[in-house]
Amino acid sequence: MKKGRQVTMKEIAKKLGVSVSTVSRALQDSPELHAETKRKIVEAAKEMNYRPNLLAQSLRISRSKTLGVIVPEITSHFFASCISGIQDVANTRGYNVMICQSNELLSQEKANIQTLVSSQVDGLLISLSRETNTYEHLYELYDREINFLLFDRVQEDIPVSKVTFNDVSGAYQVVKHLLENGSRRIVYVSGPEDLYISKKRKEGYLRALSEFGVAEDPSLVLVTDLTLEGNLQVAQHILAIDPRPEAVFCMIDPVAVDVLTEWKKSGIRIPEDIALAGFTDNPTAAVVEPPLTTVSQPGYDMGKLAVSHLLDQLDGLASEDPISIVLDTTLVVRKSSQHFSSKK
């Protein structure tokens, strides 16, 4: 295919017999310009189908009006929602967005950062990969004074703004709900233990237990690597625990869905035989049978808030000091957790 030649200011200038600077001024609606020349230029530009070359513009003003986003994976509904929120706000504020996915790989995350920095993004919104347990690449961004912020999958020590959900409170709510429904032996299925959300949700779990005077039982805290195999293994393991736990709280919905499916195959009834709850409120949570009790975390809102704050900082509307924005989650009670109530 031939390379589409773009109309430039130079061509407009030549056609109208004016200088390039005059065209530039006219297109910026500069006041110090004869109204008539301005009108002519704007008209010609439209007629010739002129589009500014953002590359040249960015190079000149050394601001690309572009933001970079890194998420673990774009096919996750939650992260897709975040991205959607980010884009909506960014676009209305005149920014473009470049999205990268780390595929949960640290190496990929580093590569993404390089690319985006090279692309001269004005700022970055990063959600860390599952693998990320070393943080030099982030400190390097910090040292280079590149604007960025962490959301959802954050690392607490890095001195930049962070947007998170109140994971502790969300987990607390759902475990409290299980306790209130009469369960006492409650399993927590954790993801990899160095994950931020694994830790935070465990904290909420423990807090609820202690509030109800239930002693922590380490044999009821299980870990999955979040693969299908890992999840199924946990599902089977739980059934083998004696005496059988009354309820299970899985760190994220996908785990709960795998567990639920596996149990149904084994003839276990939910919630009659055992109660189940997840976290995230994925679209699947509402449609599995029985519908899954979970904790909803609005990704779209998170994206909007995160990018708003970053842009505020970029535009000088907010202080440069890092802040922590914590969003609230909502308990969504569905059938999967109605253990004792369903026995009546």
Partner DNA sequence: CTGTTAGCGCCTTCAT
Partner DNA sequence: ATGAAGGCGCTAACAG
* Residues near DNA, by CB under 7 A: 6, 8-10, 17-22, 24-25, 27-28, 32-35, 37-38, 52-53, 56-57, 59-62
Count of residues interacting with a second copy (CB under 8 A): 54
Euclidean distance between CA atoms 181 and 19, whole angstroms? 78
Q: Which is nearer to DNA, 20 or 74 (CB)?
A: 20
Which of DNA, a second copy, none does residue 96 bind (CB under 5 to 8 Å by kind)? a second copy
**266 makes contact with a second copy (CB under 8 A):** no
Grouping H, G, I as helix, E, B as strand and the rest as coil, residue 100 is: strand
Contacts of 91 (CB under 8 A, 6+ apart): 97
Q: Which is nearer to DNA, 34 or 343 (CB)?
A: 34
**3 makes contact with a second copy (CB under 8 A):** yes
- Cβ 240 to a second copy shortest distance, Å: 24
- Cβ 149 to DNA shortest distance, Å: 24
**308 makes contact with a second copy (CB under 8 A):** no
Euclidean distance between CA atoms 124 and 66, whole angstroms? 9
Structure tokens that stand for 238 in this block: 């739980």
Structure tokens that stand for 81 in this block: 């929602």
| 166: phi then psi, degrees, rounded to nearest 5 | -80, 80
Q: Which is nearer to a second copy, 61 or 215 (CB)?
A: 61
> Per-residue b/e over 309-318, b at no fewer than 16 CB within 10 Å?
bbbebbeeee
Euclidean distance between CA atoms 326 and 94, whole angstroms? 26
Euclidean distance between CA atoms 196 and 133, whole angstroms? 10
Which of DNA, a second copy, none does residue 100 bind (CB under 5 to 8 Å by kind)? a second copy
Contacts of 188 (CB under 8 A, 6+ apart): 175, 201, 202, 205, 220, 221, 222, 249, 251
Site for a second copy in 60-89 (CB under 8 A): 62, 64, 66, 73-75, 77, 80-81, 83-84, 87
Q: Which stretch binds a second copy (CB under 8 A): 109-117, 164-172, 198-206, 326-334?
A: 109-117
CA 130, 334, 297, 247 torsion-angle sign? negative
Q: Which is nearer to DNA, 28 or 134 (CB)?
A: 28
- Cβ 35 to DNA shortest distance, Å: 7
Contacts with a second copy by CB under 8 A lie at 1-6, 49, 51-56, 58-59, 62, 64, 66, 73-75, 77, 80-81, 83-84, 87, 96-101, 114-115, 117-120, 140, 144-147, 257, 261, 283-284, 287-289, 313-314, 320
